[in-house]
Structure 1
Amino acid sequence: MTITSPLDTTPSVHRPSRWRRLLWQLGGLALLLALWWLVTDVLRLYPPYVFPSPKAVWTEISYGLWGSGPQDGKLLTAIGNSLRRVLIGYASAVLLGGVVGLLMGVWRPLRDTVGAYLTGIQSVPSIAFVPFAILFFGLNERAVLFVVILEGFIPVALAVSGALMNVSPALRIAGRTLGARGLDLTTKVLLPASVPNILTGLRTAWSFAWRALVGGELLVSGSASLGAQLEVGRNTANMALVIATILIIGIIGGLFDALLRAVEGRVRRDYGLEVQQ
């Protein structure tokens, strides 16, 4: 029997278990595949070159990853190149954005100027920076990395700055009461208290960086990459390859987001911001 304290005012929240959520997700996926198969293989509402069947898309994926065929392992090479680019760009964005965000969080003039500029730039789609990157760096990998770093840097900088500004005043007062001033207050009180919100910003930055990478590769397709595979599919009217590449992009992006979400959830539970499910 569960005994509830009369002083406990925390609302009761009934959340589905992880396994139940997984079953719902798998059931939804099975339903989507069934509808896809029904439209393409049974009803044949569209020609195969417009809307290919699940089997045709799976053939492109299997040949592109580990088999021999039209793509002959090119998708696997494309995934490796794209992951290398996005990890380099994302790591650079986190480092640069963390430093700038920290400076904005502790120095108001910088926050009122650079912070306002970054907020405005964040509203510009990443694809708009690709022509600038091409003209400045040329049709090469540096142009793609520039767009990835820029799109990842802004959310990190704003997240770090905002997290530092939103630390509870009680913690600031407690830190000063215990003798923390200046750098000690920032590194020993403000930053540790900001970690959960900063992790949320890192997850947002990953989404921005991943989308920017694919957009940049789509236009700067000088070597094997996921963006280049989309361009190959368009040029050859191979809709199965296009859909296969889109699925791979979504799966990779979702897996990394799930990993960052798991880390964020663990930290939030350790901070007492979420209950253990």
Structure 2
Amino acid sequence: MTTLQQPDLSRPAQTTPSRWRLLSWQLLGLLLILGVWWLATDVLKLYPPYVFPSPKAVWTEIEYGLWGTGPQDGKLLAAIGGSLRRVLTGYAFAVVLGGVVGLLMGLWLPLRATLGAYLTGLQSIPSIAFVPFAILFFGLNERAVLFVVILEGFIPVALAVSGALLNVPPTLRVAGRTLGANGLGLLLRVLLPAALPNVLTGLRTAWSFAWRALVGGELLIAGAKSLGEQLEIGRNTANVALVLATILIIGIIGGVFDAFLRAAEGRMRRNYGLEVAQ
């Protein structure tokens, strides 16, 4: 007869790499990418500069666009400001509206069974598909872009809040009622605090959806100071370096905001005992 092998509790549990080690890996990966890029463009010259520019050419566009003098002359900096203003406005509306609707869906089954199903279906539609409707309804202006941003941010927040409330352990509900919390008190003191970690995950998803929807909508607004306009200028002038510089800036801004939300989510999960601090 075989016996079950007992786990060795004296050995420490395997842990994830530390934050600084992960950061060092990311920096090494970035240097590797830049090295391959430089090798392909400046050394091997696999493509003409007007097709695939070198890292130096892209950095020159960033330098001109942010603080230098030249063809762009600070236009990238103005574009960043315009895009951030739009996305933060739309994201704020999406969080408030999505939070209220998600709360109602989590508490009322008929609304969850109808509107929740519709929102799940709408979430599978790419944001660019809503742009023609927004232009026809609002016109070729900033309101059309804000509509797409709010819509793309609203859906993940509503679904995340509704799902987080439903995933609250029943034992917490019973404990709250046992201690005298009912109705609104149970919602504010028990259900919402228990749902916060999952809600923050939904806020991260909503940010990524809203940011991508913003850039897609801005491509169609002529004359507005935006990163989408810089992409369109680069396309019209065949300036691939400007296009790549704008793409890098879009990725950096999106990554910075996601890292901020990820840090807030991690801190919340550690406070709730769902993660172990490194």
TM > 0.5: yes
Aligned to 1:47: 48
5+ residue gaps in structure 2? Answer: 1-6
5+ residue gaps in structure 1? Answer: 1-5
Q: Are 2:156 and 1:194 equivalent residues in the alignment?
A: no
Q: List 4+ stretches of structure 1 deviating above 2 A.
A: 6-11
Measure, in 2, the Cα distance between the counterparts of 1:120 and 1:231: 31
Q: Does the C-alpha gap of structure 1 residues 156 and 275 become closer, same or farther in structure 2, counting only changes over 3 Å?
A: same
Aligned to 2:69: 68
Q: Using the TM superposition, give the Cα deviation of residue 17 of structure 1 relative to its aligned residue in structure 2, in angstroms.
A: 1.6
Aligned to 1:58: 59
Q: Using the TM superposition, give the Cα deviation of residue 9 of structure 1 relative to its aligned residue in structure 2, in angstroms.
A: 10
Q: Does the C-alpha gap of structure 1 residues 98 and 64 become closer, same or farther in structure 2, counting only changes over 3 Å?
A: same
Aligned to 1:222: 223
Aligned to 1:35: 36
CA deviations 1:114-158 (Å, max 9, x no partner) are 100000000000000000000011111100000000000000000
Measure, in 1, the Cα distance between the counterparts of 2:115 and 2:83: 30
Identity between Structure 1 and Structure 2 (%): 79
Q: Using the TM superposition, give the Cα deviation of residue 92 of structure 1 relative to its aligned residue in structure 2, in angstroms.
A: 0.5
Give the TM-score taking structure 1 as reference length: 0.96
Aligned to 2:3: none
Letter in 2 for 1:201: G
Q: 1:100-249, aligned counterparts within 5 Å?
A: 100-249=101-250
Measure, in 2, the Cα distance between the counterparts of 1:15 and 1:162: 28
Q: Using the TM superposition, give the Cα deviation of residue 20 of structure 1 relative to its aligned residue in structure 2, in angstroms.
A: 1.3
CA contact (8 A) 1:65 1:76 kept: yes
Measure, in 2, the Cα distance between the counterparts of 1:196 and 1:138: 39
Letter in 1 for 2:232: E
Letter in 1 for 2:92: A
Q: Does the C-alpha gap of structure 1 residues 11 and 181 become closer, same or farther in structure 2, counting only changes over 3 Å?
A: farther
Aligned to 2:275: 274
Aligned to 1:19: 20
CA contact (8 A) 1:140 1:222 kept: no
Measure, in 1, the Cα distance between the counterparts of 2:12 and 2:265: 23
Measure, in 2, the Cα distance between the counterparts of 1:83 and 1:16: 33
Aligned to 1:87: 88
Q: Secondary structure at the match of 2:219?
A: helix
**Count of residue correspondences:** 272
Q: Using the TM superposition, give the Cα deviation of residue 222 of structure 1 relative to its aligned residue in structure 2, in angstroms.
A: 3.2
Q: Does the C-alpha gap of structure 1 residues 156 and 237 become closer, same or farther in structure 2, counting only changes over 3 Å?
A: same
